[in-house]
Structure 1
Amino acid sequence: MTNVELRGVSRWYGNVVAVNDITMTLGAGVTGLLGPNGAGKTTVLHMMAGFLSPSRGAVTVGGTPSWRNPAVYRQIGLVTEREAVHGFLSAYEFVLASAKLHKLDEPEAAARRAIELVEMTDVQDRRIATYSKGMRQRTRVAAALVHDPEVLLLDEPFNGMDPRQRLHMMELLHALGGQGRTILFSSHILEEVEQLSGTVQVIVAGRLAASGDFRTIRRLMTNRPHVFAVQSTDDRALAVALMAEASVTGVEIDRAGLTVRAGDYGSFTRALPKIALRAGIRVRRLLPSDESLESVFSYLVEV
Structure 2
Amino acid sequence: MTKKKIDSAEIDLKLLENQPEKLVGKKIFKLYQVRGLIHCNKKEYDLAIKNYETAIALTKKIQNNFALEYLYKLIIEAYEKKGDKKLTEEYIQKRKFLSDNLRKIRENSTESTVKELVKHKEKKAKSKIQYLMYYICAGILIVIVLLLFITIKIRKERKKIMQKEKETNILSKKLNLAFDEVVQLAKNNDSEFLTRFVEVYPDFFPALQQIEPQMQNSELKFCALLFLNFSSKDIATYTFVQPQSIQTRKNRLRKKLNIPSNEDINIWMKNINKK
TM-score normalised by structure 1 residue count = 0.22
Instruction: Choose 1 or 2 for highest CA Rg.
Output: 2
* Structure with greater strand percent: 1
TM-score normalised by structure 2 residue count = 0.24
